[in-house]
Amino acid sequence: MGKTIRPMLPRKSQYGVDPKYIEKRISEYPEMTSIMLNDIFQDMPSIIYPSNKGLDAVREATEKALEKVDMSMIKPDHSVNILASHHGFTLLGGEPYAEVLKTIRDVIEKRTGTDSIRLRAGVGLRFRETEEYIRSFALDKHFKGKAQGVAPIDEGIPIETEIGTLYGLKAVYDADWIVHAHNSDVREVHFHRQVDRAVKPFGMSYARIDTRSTYHQNMGPRAANFVARSIFGSDFVQSKFAFTTFIEMTPTGIKDVIADNNLLALNDKITVSGCKYYGKIMTLLGEIDECIVGLDFPAPVPYVFAAGVIFANFAGSNVDIFDLDNPLPPYTWYTEAFYGKDSLPLVENVPKLNPAIKAVIHNYAWGGYPSTFFAEHLPTIVVGTEQAEAIKRDPQNIDYIRNSVIAESLDSAMEFAYKVSGTRKVIIFDGAIGGLNVSQELADLLVKKVPEIDKKVENELLPKWLKQRGIDPKEVELF
């Protein structure tokens, strides 16, 4: 068996069990091995991080990307809000994103002369999460105290848009200029369907509850991201928007840092790279016939990573969720909403969660996000009574443990999962960088499937996906 890639270390957070209780990681078992993505997909791009240059490479790339950005609109007496989201801090340990934010601040100060530069870091449903990251990465010091975590229940500000009044967060827009600092990791394809991915935070991290709820409840599974597009396109936001900076992510690491005064131009670029690189991995994972899933990463259940893919997407990888002709992925909140009292779907075409998943071992994953749906639909084994207690305490997951079984240790959880599932194929969502940790049996299957998937995505799926999003596949090379 091969040596496994080191999983992402547990992080001390109020949303997860204390790391001291995570005694063992799933990748430590002798039957586990790793698949390096560069070995199986020859066209994965070269990356700048992780690399021998460490964070210096990220800083240099950010500085270089910002060279071509026009900042002349920012005057020395102006204020600037650099807008960040919690998601960036979950990528590769969070340091690269923190470094990008620090660099943007330093470059703005140097180029424009203003020192009124604030960090406003938005969150999803864990309202203190970015406050934890701000402290952890010393962003408060770097921003001279002007760093603030903002949450969707904070004070709002109405924004007139072409679909009516929507609401942003006051603290996000309380500066003369805003800078949108994000990343191209596809993450929630089940929600945004890789449509206007770059714009999404305007309807999420930077928005109030009223507007987030409009996105998730009022707009339909494929039209939802128009909420973000409407806010971004509003006169109010356009009057403040200065430029954007994105970490260009791939499943193997950071390809580059890109920046532009035109967010929509950058949006097309990341639509292409997201479909191409992540599309291949997701399609490959969709080929798994049976498996045990290991959750082992410092994030809520749906957001634990393997090869750049989150568990929520693997739970739906039995359906091509990049294909917009498929109305519903097996998991989105629309799908979740569509199960009636008899536990059957209320409408046709609601696909079941990935039937390949025979058992889920919850070795380490946070609360702070409604995840009961997964435990209701997939046999789930939670490791450790302390972790179970932490989840029980979470108001967003009151019924998660009621739908799970609790194992005293990871050893007993693994043993149980092997017995009840009858499979030895294991995929571990542990944030392993550059590849994924799996059991040897699963590795053999995946490696065998690669050539076929590579060809299928390149020749058949990718052109279709791009066409659906208004991008001529012939122009892909231009991006």
Partner 1 sequence: MRVVNWTASVDKEKCKASCQKTCPAGVKVPVYIDLIKSNRFQEAYEVIQADNPFPSVCGRVCHSPCENECRRGKQDAALAIRALKRFAGDQLINGGLPVPRVKENKGIRVAIIGAGPAGLSAAYFLTLKGYQITIFEALEVAGGMMVAGIPEYRLPKDVLNKEIDVIKNMGVEIKTGVKIGKDITLEQILRNGYKAIFLAVGARKDQPLNIPGEELEGVLTGVRFLHDVNLGNPPDFSGKDAAVIGGGNVAADAARSALRLGANSVTVYYRRTKKEMPAIEGEIAEMQHEGVKIHVLTAPVEILGNNGKVNGLKLTKMMLGKPDKTGRPLPVPIDGSEFTVKADVVISAIGYNPDAADIDPALKTNGWGGIVVDADTMVTSIPSVFSGGDCVTGAATLIEAVSAGKKGASSIDKYLGGDGIVVKDLNPPRNFGKIIDGDTKRVRVPTLGKVEGFKETELGYTLEQAINEAARCLQCDVECRTCEKVCPVLAIKGKTSGQRNVAEVDVNYCVGCNACEQRCPEYAILLNKLDKPVIIKTDVNKVDYEQIASLCRKAKFHPEQIVCYCTATRAEEIAAAVILGAKTPEDVSRATGVRTGCKVECIQPVLRILEAAGIQPEPRKDGWQWYGRTPTVWEIREGIKAKFNHKGFYFTEDIQLLDRLIENKKDN
Residues within window 126-155 making contact with partner 1, judged by CB under 8 A: 127-128, 145-148, 151-155
Least separation in angstroms between residue 373's CB and partner 1 is 7
The nearer residue to partner 1, 367 or 431, going by C-beta atoms, is 367
Residue 9 interacting with partner 1 (CB under 8 A): no
Are the C-beta atoms of 450 and 284 separated by less than 8 Å?
A: yes
Least distance to partner 1, CB of residue 242, Å: 16
The amino acid at residue 257 is: V
Min dist CB 136 to partner 1, Å, is 12
Copy the structure tokens of residue 140. 């408060």
CB 107 within 8 A of CB 63: yes
Structure tokens at 347: 């409408």
Dihedral sign for Cα 372, 335, 416, 15, please: negative
Question: Concatenated DSSP letters for 380-395?
Answer: EEEE-HHHHHHHHT-T
**Site mask, partner 1, residues 329-368, x = CB under 8 A?**
----x--xxxxxx--xxxxxx-------------------
Of positions 6, 45, 79, 464, contacts partner 1 by CB under 8 A: 79
C-alpha–C-alpha distance, residues 124 and 169, integer Å: 13
Span 398-417, contacts to partner 1 by CB under 8 A = 398-399
Indicate the SS3 state at residue 224: coil
474 near partner 1, rule: CB under 8 A: no
**Half-sphere exposure (CA, 13 Å, Cβ side) for 470?**
8
Report the residue number, 162 or 422, with the smaller CB distance to partner 1. Answer: 162
Among 18, 210, 472, 475, binds partner 1 (CB under 8 A): 210
Contact 361, 295 (CB under 8 A): yes
Name which of 305, 369, 370, 306 is nearest 337 in CA terms.
370
- 83 contacts 111 by C-beta, under 8 angstroms: no
Asked if 478 interacts with partner 1 (CB under 8 A), we say no
Residues 93-131 as b/e (b if ≥16 CB within 10 A, e otherwise) read bbbbbbbbbbbbbbbbbeebebebbbbbbbbbbbbebbb
Site for partner 1 in 25-54 (CB under 8 A): none
Question: Taking contact as CB under 8 A, which single stretch among the options 52-60, 86-94, 431-439, 464-472 is the one that binds partner 1?
Answer: 464-472
Query: Could you tell me the smallest distance in angstroms from the CB atom of residue 120 to partner 1?
Result: 9
CB 141 to partner 1: min, Å = 8
182 forms bridges with which residues in the sheet?
A: 246
**Of the residues 1, 18, 68, 218, which one makes contact with partner 1 according to CB under 8 A:** 218
User: Contacts with partner 1 in 231-270 (CB under 8 A)?
Assistant: none
Q: In whole angstroms, what is the distance from residue 45 CA to residue 66 CA?
A: 22
Question: Which residue from 50, 60, 116, 136 is in contact with partner 1, where contact means CB under 8 A?
Answer: 116
The least distance separating partner 1 from the CB of residue 196, rounded to whole angstroms, comes to 7
Question: Smallest distance, Å, CB 124 to partner 1?
Answer: 8
Does 385 sit near partner 1 (CB under 8 A)?
no
Told to check if 373 binds partner 1 by CB under 8 A, we report yes
